[in-house]
Amino acid sequence: MFCHREGQKLTLEHIYPDWLSSLFNKGLKGTNEVSSDNVNRVWQGRVFQEKVKLVCGHCNNGWMSAIEGETKHLITSLAFTHDGHAFSKEDQRKVTLWVQKTILVMNKATGGVGDFDIPIGFYERLYQTKQPLSNVMVSMGWRMLANGSKDQPLASFEIKQVNTVQAEKKSADMLRMQMENGALIWTAVLALGNVVFHVVGTNINGDLEVGSSDPRMFSQINPFVESISWPLEWPIEAVGGLDAVRKAM
Ligand SMILES: [Zn+2]
């Protein structure tokens, strides 16, 4: 999926990283949900043990595993603990790379859900640079996943193409031309425990203001703006929670 090596055997890759399941009881079953504009699949399974054959062993055990290794403690603390801490530029870089990599895997893993697929160029760039992609904005919000919120999924992923764009008149024609030639904007929401990532990617050239999330609920981590103190001031529950965030995608 990333390297396009010929003759490489594909290995089973965990959609959600394997180390996440070690945070939970072995027998714990959970509800998995994948949705798009026209599909909504829900199934039961062991939490965080869904696997797909999408990447070769070289990628899976190499650079992808390295990303997991250096980001695990940060994701765990964002998603499953309530300790407040500063979130530095380097932390944000690591988490961004993990989020972008995970979204690209999930997009393929949930392939066939709806008509949308992230263009190959995003995969190639991430594979070549192993650095956060500047054209994939990432922001994160704080979700209060308390004991009383049993109807809320532990993890969820949603992705779709953005079909309407606001533009200045002078750039609107340029934009329309690029979009007619296959350029697009996509948006995804990935929720994991107490953290929710809002991601907006585009391969349109030029200055484009995309997907500004509510700044009280979401802090942008890519491109980098400033250090963040976590948790954020307001949880997303203040604006209606995950459902409202997804509706606003
Ligand atoms: Zn590979």
Tens digits of residue pLDDT in 232-247 = 989 999 888 888 888 8
Give the Å distance between the CA of 52 and the centre of ligand 1. Answer: 14
What does pTM read for this prediction? 0.88
- Residue 206 predicted with pLDDT over 90: no
Give the Å distance between the CA of 206 and the centre of ligand 1. Answer: 31
Checking 119-128 for CB contacts under 8 A at 24+ apart, the result is: 119/182, 119/184, 119/203, 121/203, 122/201, 122/203, 123/1, 123/2, 124/2, 126/2, 126/100, 126/101, 127/2, 127/3, 127/59, 127/63
Give the Å distance between the CA of 231 and the centre of ligand 1. Answer: 36
Give the Å distance between the CA of 185 and the centre of ligand 1. Answer: 26
Give the Å distance between the CA of 129 and the centre of ligand 1. Answer: 14
Give the Å distance between the CA of 96 and the centre of ligand 1. Answer: 21
Summarised one tens digit per residue, pLDDT across range 55-89 is: 888 998 999 999 999 999 999 999 988 788 899 99
